[in-house]
Structure 1
Amino acid sequence: LEVMGECPEPFTAVVGECFYLSPNTLSWHSARHTCRGMGGDLATPKHLYALKAFLTNERGPKAAWIGGMDLGLDGGWKWINGAVIDSADWGHNQPNSVRPTEQCLALRRDWHPVLDDLPCHQYQRFVCQYT
């Protein structure tokens, strides 16, 4: 479907990748299910700060689910494509897992660096990426 950098509706092209910011809020797992139903998955951006700019331009929420999670003791924090999350991208004192349930990844457009760990059951808006 993707031709010459264009994205299928309702995705928007951002530095060669296709993203969609949901208008509604869901838990991380429900958000992932929704993204998959759209022919994509939760966002695993090559350019995290371009995605931050997209959220800001869209007047998005302060926090939005993206495609990363804590796989527990051995796995650590990974993108859903299997890549390790760069520790330099975490916000100040993050990931902090204040509650042991903070195992899902959100992008904070009001932070620099931008990554935050939040409880997976929390309802947030989310960013899908067309795959």
Structure 2
Amino acid sequence: MSGLGEKFRAAVEAGDIGAAVDLCAEDVTFLSPVVHKPYRGKAPLGAILHAVFSVFENFRYVAEYGGDDGHVLRFTASVRDAEGRDLALEGVDIVHGTETEITELTVLVRPYSAATALRARMAALLTG
């Protein structure tokens, strides 16, 4: 599994969302840090990742942890709130899957103020 997590990291760091999504199963499950209901499928995941790339600023992975059952990528970034303030955040991408494809991607972020700003910005992008 760690090889797939490393490939996902490389694709994200290169800004190649298509390559990141291509690593996923057709019925991949995405668990959002701000929405209770899971998203399923490559198309919703691709839309979400594209939106995230336009919302996050100064995104970078700062650590990774891997094992046979998954891969965790720790990141830092900032997000602008409704008042125009840049809020620092940190989070993790938790990647689960098989040797050949990602079957589940969970994202967790903190602190609450940044997660709330992220939710508002993402909702505006994804709902048009």
TM bin (shorter chain)? under 0.3
TM-score by length of 1: 0.23
Structure number having the greater strand percentage: 2
Using CA pairs below 8 Å that are at least 6 residues apart, which structure has the higher relative contact order?
1
Structure number having the greater helix percentage: 2
